[in-house]
């Protein structure tokens, strides 16, 4: 049984039913040697009757070897008998904005928020119109490398950005950071029912000295506090520099139970051998950081040329 917050809809735009058979567009399947299926909207949907859903997957002969699902925040106590691993996410408990500003973040982060205001950055709710999309496209096409890797949205046209980011506006609120009339950063805040989720959050590199990303996070927390939302979630708990940014803004590592259920004999064997986990998941932090350094130098040389 799938449940979700009342705002959620399928990709066709119809309200999610309390129970339904698996639909092709409701699943995301990844992997080659071992194909793993999961709910496309698992950040926004609960799977209250996993056994019935798994049986439906088998009856429909979904082309996957494993099915994985998790329990969403704040449901962190394991409730199901399947093979379980822990998935770390970045979550920030929200009470009031004042509490976060005075007691959660450190002086350096507070100074960056003040710095943004002093440099004229204005953060406000935004509308997904053509001007906003043009600002997004300009930020996306500023650099091909972000966070030391190839940037997924680099090179996309105005039409592509508008089409891709209009899909989930029914559950998202937009916040923009502006320097004068120029959009220099933005965030898509998703309504996940139990919590708010920071989707795409990004700022212009050329305006990094104005700390727009810190100002955007502060505004997101202010909105959560106004609406009585208990948690703000910022994707998975990362390994590397992004983890420091999340920690400095008050996010904590929260581990959620993730389950893996074999759908085929290959799936059962791969789960037993641990082949369902990616290579990077098995690497120690120091090895991973070393390899990321090599990748960063490669991209720097390639794109500098």
* Same-domain status, 76 and 155: no
- Residue 103's Cβ-count burial label (10 Å; 0-12, 13-18, 19+) is exposed
- Is residue 30 within 8 Å of residue 21, measured between CB atoms? no
What end-to-end distance do the CA atoms of the chain give, in Å? 53
Say if residue 147's pLDDT is above 80.
Answer: no
Between 55 and 19, the more confident residue is 55
The separation between CA 80 and the C-alpha centre of its own chain, rounded to angstroms, equals 25
* Same-domain status, 144 and 218: yes
Helix (H, G, I), strand (E, B) or coil at 2: strand
Looking at the domain assignment, is residue 244 inside a domain? no
Please report, for the domain that includes residue 214, its CATH number: 3.40.630.30
Say if residue 274's pLDDT is above 70.
Answer: yes
> Over the stretch 110-122, which tens digit does the pLDDT of each residue have?
999 999 999 999 9
For 94, other C-beta atoms within 10 Å of its C-beta total 25
Return d(Cα 69, Cα 254) in angstroms, integer. 16
Share in percent of the chain as helix, strand, coil (round to 5): 40, 30, 35
Looking at the domain assignment, is residue 141 inside a domain? yes
* Same-domain status, 211 and 119: yes
- pLDDT tier at 24, thresholds 50, 70, 90: very low
- Is residue 144 within 8 Å of residue 296, measured between CB atoms? no
* Same-domain status, 224 and 104: yes
* Same-domain status, 177 and 81: no
* Same-domain status, 107 and 189: yes
Say if residue 44's pLDDT is above 50.
Answer: yes
- pLDDT tier at 50, thresholds 50, 70, 90: very high
| Average pLDDT value for residue range 80-90 | 97
| Average pLDDT value for residue range 153-171 | 96
* Same-domain status, 203 and 261: no
Range of the domain at 65: 2-86+257-304
Q: How many domains does the chain have?
A: 2
- Bridge partners of residue 66, in order along the sequence: 36, 262
- Is residue 173 within 8 Å of residue 189, measured between CB atoms? yes
For 234, other C-beta atoms within 10 Å of its C-beta total 24
- pLDDT tier at 146, thresholds 50, 70, 90: confident
* Same-domain status, 115 and 50: no
- pLDDT tier at 102, thresholds 50, 70, 90: very high
Looking at the domain assignment, is residue 236 inside a domain? no
* Same-domain status, 123 and 105: yes
- The pair phi, psi for residue 190, each rounded to 5°, is -95, 140
Selection from 1-5, 67-71, 300-304 with the highest mean pLDDT:
67-71
* Mean per-residue pLDDT of the chain: 88
* Same-domain status, 101 and 225: yes
- pLDDT tier at 23, thresholds 50, 70, 90: very low
Domain end among 189, 209, 229: 229
- The pair phi, psi for residue 223, each rounded to 5°, is -65, -45
- Bridge partners of residue 124, in order along the sequence: 176
The separation between CA 286 and the C-alpha centre of its own chain, rounded to angstroms, equals 24
Residue of 70, 106, 67, 110 whose CA lies nearest to 86: 70
> Over the stretch 201-211, which tens digit does the pLDDT of each residue have?
999 999 999 99
> Over the stretch 215-241, which tens digit does the pLDDT of each residue have?
999 999 999 999 999 999 999 998 777
* Same-domain status, 50 and 165: no
Looking at the domain assignment, is residue 127 inside a domain? yes
* Same-domain status, 182 and 147: yes
Tokens representing 65 are 């070897």
């Amino acid at each position: 049984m799938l449940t979700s917050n009342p705002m959620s809809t399928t990709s066709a735009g119809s309200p999610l039913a309390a129970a339904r058979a698996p639909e092709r567009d409701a699943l995301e399947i990844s992997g080659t040697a071992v194909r793993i299926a999961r709910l496309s909207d698992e950040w926004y949907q609960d799977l209250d009757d996993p056994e019935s859903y798994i049986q439906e997957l088998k009856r429909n002969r979904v082309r996957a070897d494993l099915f994985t699902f998790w329990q969403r925040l704040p449901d962190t106590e394991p409730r199901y008998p399947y093979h379980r691993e822990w998935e770390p996410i970045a979550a920030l408990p929200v009470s009031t904005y004042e509490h976060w500003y005075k007691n959660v973040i450190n002086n350096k982060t507070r100074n960056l928020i003040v710095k943004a205001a002093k440099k004229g950055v204005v953060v406000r709710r935004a509308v997904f119109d053509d001007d906003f999309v043009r600002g997004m496209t300009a930020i996306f096409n500023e650099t091909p490398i972000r966070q030391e890797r190839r940037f997924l949205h680099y090179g996309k046209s105005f039409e592509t950005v508008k089409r891709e980011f209009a899909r989930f506006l029914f559950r998202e609120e937009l916040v923009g950071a502006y320097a004068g009339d120029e959009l220099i950063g933005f965030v898509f805040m998703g309504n996940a029912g139990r919590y708010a989720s920071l989707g795409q959050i990004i700022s212009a590199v050329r305006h990094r000295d104005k700390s727009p990303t810190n100002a955007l996070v502060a505004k997101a927390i202010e909105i959560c506090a106004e609406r009585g939302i208990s948690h703000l979630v910022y994707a998975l708990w990362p390994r590397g520099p992004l983890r420091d940014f999340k920690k400095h803004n008050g996010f904590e590592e929260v581990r959620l139970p993730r389950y893996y259920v074999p759908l085929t004999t290959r799936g059962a064997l791969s789960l037993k051998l641990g082949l369902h986990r990616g290579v990077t998941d098995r690497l120690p932090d120091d090895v991973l950081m070393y390899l990321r350094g090599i990748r960063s130098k490669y991209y720097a040389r390639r794109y500098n040329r």
